[in-house]
Amino acid sequence: MSFLRFLGISAALAVPALSQTGGVPVAKFWTHDSQGPAQNTPCEGNATVELLGNVTAPDSRSSRDVGFHGRVGKFEVNTYGDTSQCPEGAQLDNCWDGANFVGSNSAALDTDNPLIVQDFNLTGGDRSQQFCAKMDIPEEQDNVFFAIGTSNVIETGENTGIIFTAMNNRTMNGDGTSKDHMLGAGIGIIDASGDFPTCTRKEQLWWDASEEPLWGDHNVVDGMDGFLYFFGGMMGGDIDSQLNVYAGRVPKNGATDLSQYTYWNGQAYTPERLKNPTPSQAILQGVPPGQIFWNPYLFKWVSLSRDPLDMWGLGIQTSVNIHGPWSELQKVYHEDCLTPQPIAIYSPAAHTQYDPTGKTLIVTYAAYGPIQAIKLTFNKD
| Residue 299 contacts residue 259 (beta carbons within 8 Å) | no
Backbone φ and ψ for 312, nearest 5 degrees, come out as -115, 10
Q: What is the pLDDT of residue 369?
A: 76
The amino acid at 309: L
- Residue 142, CA distances (Å) to 137, 146, 184, 360 in order: 8, 9, 19, 47
Q: Are strands 269-270 and 262-264 parallel, antiparallel or unpaired?
A: antiparallel
Q: List pLDDT tens digits, range 171-230.
A: 766 666 656 688 899 999 999 999 999 999 988 899 999 999 999 988 999 999 999 999
Q: How many whole angstroms separate alpha carbon 159 and alpha carbon 200?
A: 14
Reduced to 3 states (helix: H, G, I; strand: E, B; else coil), residue 315 is strand
For residue 117, the SS3 value is strand
Q: What are phi and psi of 280, to 5 degrees?
A: -65, -15
Which residues sit opposite 115 in a β-bridge?
none
Per-residue pLDDT of the chain (381 residues; tens, 9 = 90+): 333 332 222 222 222 222 222 232 222 333 333 333 333 334 443 357 888 989 999 999 988 988 899 999 999 999 999 999 988 887 777 676 778 888 899 999 999 999 999 999 999 889 999 999 988 887 777 666 788 999 999 999 999 999 999 988 877 666 666 566 888 999 999 999 999 999 999 888 999 999 999 999 889 999 999 999 999 999 876 666 788 999 999 999 999 999 999 999 999 999 999 999 999 999 999 888 889 999 999 999 999 998 888 888 888 999 999 988 999 888 887 766 555 566 788 899 999 999 999 999 999 999 887 899 999 998 876
CA 52-77-194 angle, to 5 degrees, is: 140
Average pLDDT, the chain: 82
Q: What pLDDT score does 28 carry?
A: 32
Cα distances (Å, whole numbers) of residue 211 to 25, 215, 274 = 33, 12, 8
What is the model's pLDDT at position 309?
Answer: 81
As a whole number of angstroms, the distance between CA 325 and CA 332 comes to 20
Instruction: State how far the Cα of 366 lies from the Cα of 65, in Å rounded to an integer.
Output: 6
Is-contact 34 43, C-beta < 8 A?
Answer: yes
Burial class (CB in 10 A: 0-12, 13-18, 19+), 52: middle
Per the CB < 8 A criterion, the answer to whether 164 and 150 are in contact is yes
- pLDDT given at position 125: 83
Q: What is the Cα–Cα distance from 244 to 329, expressed in whole angstroms?
A: 14
| pLDDT at residue 357 in the model | 97
Residues in the chain: 381
Give the helix ranges, DSSP H, for 13-161.
138-141
| DSSP collapsed to 3 states, 142-204 | CCCCEEEEEEEEEEEECCEEEEEEEEEEEEECCCCCEEEEEEEEEEEEEECCCCCCEEEECCC
Q: Is the dihedral of CA 229, 77, 134, 257 positive or negative?
A: negative
The Cα–Cα gap between 360 and 20 comes to 28
